[in-house]
Amino acid sequence: MHQHLSTYLRKKSLNLGLNKILSILLSCQTLFQKAKLLQILHKSAANKIRRIDPVNPQHALIVEAARVIEKGGVVMFPTSFIYGLGANAFNVDAIDRVFRIKKRPHNKPLSVLVKNQEALCRLVQYIPTYASIIMDRFWPGKITIVFKAKEGLPENLTAGANTIGVRIPEHTAACALVNALDNPITGTSANFSGHAGCSQISDLDPLIADELDLILDAGPLEGGVGSTVVDVTGDAPAILREGAVPAKDIFAIFK
């Protein structure tokens, strides 16, 4: 049967949607058949992969990725710990694609990556003084800061809430990508919702790879716990998730 599946996919030039792929997978009767199909899907993603230098990212590849995002596409790109999915944070349809790709519940907002602190004016209502202190100390880097969201942002981006998580990325390729764009991009991880993040391309689920427009492969990443999430919507910072930056290091800057 796996031979028939292989022939079918090749005849279709692998231009299949996620639902079609899933239906084929469900029709497979053995683990071997499923493994064979997944192998084929991995191969189908090969033409989307661009090997990017993690230290000195090639300008041409950054421009290619930026153009894909500007046209409403979704790009997988490296961050400090794991790979992320980047889409125009102001494009409602592109954001919907990210949710579909990740199978992410629509009541869970997406975080955003920006090129500098000045870009926050398009996303947040105001910046508390203590938030500026945190940004000056830890950005670019491993802290996502949750602000009160500015009115008019795409509802699917914020999941209808009045807050938004923002970070300036630290990875050189991610920085180059956000700097090449006028709009901020989504910074959610490249995995199905609730599953572990992907720290190398070989770990990427082929069903996700099939739905992406471009993949920037910077090699194995650090992996680990991800960014620390700090809420600055109140009178003092509140740690929503402790990650790469210990909470004690954040509170220490105010002593």
Report pLDDT digits (tens) over 223-251: 888 899 999 999 999 999 999 999 999 99
Report pLDDT digits (tens) over 105-128: 999 999 999 999 999 999 999 999
CATH number reported for the structural domain that contains residue 145 in this entry: 3.90.870.10
Q: Does residue 15 sit in the same domain as residue 79?
A: no
Q: Does residue 237 sit in the same domain as residue 113?
A: yes
Q: List 241's β-bridge partners, or say none.
A: 229
Q: Does residue 88 sit in the same domain as residue 203?
A: yes
The pLDDT, as a whole number, for residue 26 is: 53
Counting Cα atoms < 13 Å in the Cβ hemisphere of 54 gives 15
Structural domain for 18, as ranges: 1-44
Close Cβ partners of 157 (under 8 Å, ≥ 6 residues apart):
89, 95, 109, 110, 112, 164, 186
The pLDDT, as a whole number, for residue 163 is: 98
Q: Does residue 151 sit in the same domain as residue 40?
A: no
Mean pLDDT of 120-140: 97
Q: How many domains does the chain have?
A: 2
Q: Does residue 38 sit in the same domain as residue 111?
A: no
The pLDDT, as a whole number, for residue 39 is: 61
The pLDDT, as a whole number, for residue 8 is: 46
Q: Does residue 241 sit in the same domain as residue 198?
A: yes
Q: List 124's β-bridge partners, or say none.
A: 149
Is 68:97 a contact under the CB 8 Å cutoff? no
Q: Does residue 54 sit in the same domain as residue 38?
A: no
Q: Which residue has the higher pLDDT, 208 or 42?
A: 208
Is 232:147 a contact under the CB 8 Å cutoff? yes
Q: Does residue 173 sit in the same domain as residue 133?
A: yes
Q: Decide: helix, strand or coil at residue 216.
A: strand
Q: Does residue 134 sit in the same domain as residue 32?
A: no
The pLDDT, as a whole number, for residue 44 is: 62
Q: Does residue 156 sit in the same domain as residue 228?
A: yes
The pLDDT, as a whole number, for residue 55 is: 96
Alpha helices in 103-171, H assignment, sequence order: 129-138, 155-158
Close Cβ partners of 205 (under 8 Å, ≥ 6 residues apart):
191, 192, 195, 198
Give the pLDDT band (50/70/90) at residue 16: low
